């Protein structure tokens, strides 16, 4: 009898090809569409029909608004830069997948994320970087280890999106040429400021100041800026200006003529997929301070609720609210939310 797997089916090309690959590997695939009030059910149903797999709708709108949208708004209120996918994956998406897998007796769950899993010498589950050009392990670093142990990521070994689209075309899938999903699924028009205003989370205008406190002009609200930003400031100066810091206590945006580099950050709410790394105190690893390919060598000093991270060489513009994700080669150790930088 084929083993069951519950796959998150969005109607996009990645999840559709992931489903097709799992079927080729002999799994009994059950699709799950996460219904959070954003539409898309018809595309997911079309994909399920083309793939000849059943589709279950998991209604999680209230949970999504409470856990993801509220977090998104509150992070901006605190002059931070949120990453909603990092929060949604463990609290909403993968929880819905595991709930339904338990309901139907499926041992595995799967998504179209570009990531991989493995086991260490002691048989413990590991989350690994993808070998593909695109790697989404950063977005998955808050998954519990027991969830990772059940995960299948069929696209983790693909070379990239072009290969996935070519596979979809060969299978005659409607999703083959569907545009990539938006960075923030619940703001499809990309108007973050408008969304925040509608949800009562937009910050009021205030002053641009330099590092001495001298007023340089007026800003549109702290939510419009992030540390390291250098475009769209609208302030005349003798050279290029950078956002150096955000000060919610005074509603000021600090500008500087020098780019922003930090040698140390503090991180809150650390989550370790592989807690053995932190079991004996400080340890060395690579750290990503944003969703990108770049990682930097650092020493991590675990604290009671987070960590202090000291980089071998200063890193550019680590932003409050973003995730600092720790790696040992391909292994994702864990990560937390950047609280402050020095």
CB 31 within 8 A of CB 55: yes
Q: Which phi and psi (to 5°) does residue 137 adopt?
A: -60, -30
Please list, residue by residue across 10-31, b when 16 or more beta carbons sit within 10 angstroms of its beta carbon and e when fewer do. Answer: bbbbbbbbbbbbbbeeebebbb
Active-site hit among 69, 85, 151, 185: 185
Cα–Cα distance for residue pair 214/208, rounded to 1 Å:
8
Helix axes 41-51, 13-24, angle to 10 degrees: 20
Our answer to whether residue 88 is catalytic in this structure is: yes
Rounded Cα gap, residues 299 and 320, in angstroms: 19
- From 137, 142, 128, 132, select the one nearest 95 (Cα to Cα): 142
The radius of gyration of the chain's CA atoms, rounded to the nearest angstrom, is: 21
Helix (H/G/I), strand (E/B), else coil: 294: coil
Structure tokens at 283: 């340890």
- Residue 285 bears catalytic tag: no
Please count the other Cβ atoms lying within 10 Å of the Cβ belonging to residue 130: 20
Report d(CA 124, CA 110) in Å as an integer.
19
| Residue of 69, 88, 151, 203 marked active site | 88
Query: Which element (helix H / strand E) includes 148?
Result: helix 145-148
Which tokens hold the place of 269?
């709410």
Cβ distance 300 to 286 under 8 Å? Answer: no
DSSP per-residue string spanning 202-271: PPPPEEEE-TT--EEEEES-GGG--TT--SS-----SS--EEEEEETTTTEEEEESS--EEEEEEEEEEE
**Residues carrying an active site annotation:** 88, 185
């Amino acid at each position: 009898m084929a083993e069951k797997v519950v796959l998150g089916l969005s109607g996009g090309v990645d999840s559709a090809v992931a489903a097709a690959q799992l079927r080729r590997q002999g799994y009994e695939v059950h699709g799950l569409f996460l219904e959070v009030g954003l539409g898309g059910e018809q595309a997911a149903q079309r994909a399920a029909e083309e793939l000849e797999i059943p589709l279950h709708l998991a209604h999680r709108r209230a949970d999504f608004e409470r856990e993801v949208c509220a977090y998104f708004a509150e992070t901006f209120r605190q002059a931070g830069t949120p990453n909603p996918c990092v929060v949604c994956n463990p609290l909403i998406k993968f929880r819905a997948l595991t709930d339904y897998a338990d309901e139907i007796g499926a041992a595995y769950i799967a998504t179209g994320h570009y990531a991989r899993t493995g086991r260490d010498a002691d048989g413990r589950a590991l989350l690994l970087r993808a070998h593909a050009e695109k790697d989404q392990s950063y977005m998955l670093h808050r998954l519990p280890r027991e969830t990772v142990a059940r995960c299948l990521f069929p696209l983790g070994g693909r070379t990239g999106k072009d290969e996935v689209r070519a596979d979809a075309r060969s299978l005659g899938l409607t999703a083959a040429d569907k545009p990539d999903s938006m960075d923030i699924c619940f703001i499809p028009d990309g108007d973050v400021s408008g969304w925040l205003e509608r949800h009562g989370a937009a910050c009021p205008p205030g002053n641009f100041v330099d590092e001495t406190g001298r007023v340089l002009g007026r800003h549109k609200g702290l939510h419009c800026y992030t540390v390291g930003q250098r475009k769209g400031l609208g302030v005349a100066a003798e050279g290029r200006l950078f956002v150096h810091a955000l000060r919610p206590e005074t509603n000021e945006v600090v500008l500087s003529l020098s780019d922003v580099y930090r040698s140390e950050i503090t991180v809150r709410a650390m989550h370790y997929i592989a807690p053995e790394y932190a079991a004996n105190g400080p340890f060395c690893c690579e750290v990503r301070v944003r969703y990108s390919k770049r990682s930097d060598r650092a020493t991590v000093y675990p604290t009671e609720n987070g960590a202090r991270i000291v980089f071998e060489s200063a890193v550019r513009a680590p932003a409050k609210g973003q995730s600092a994700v720790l790696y040992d080669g391909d292994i994702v150790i864990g990560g937390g939310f950047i609280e402050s930088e020095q």
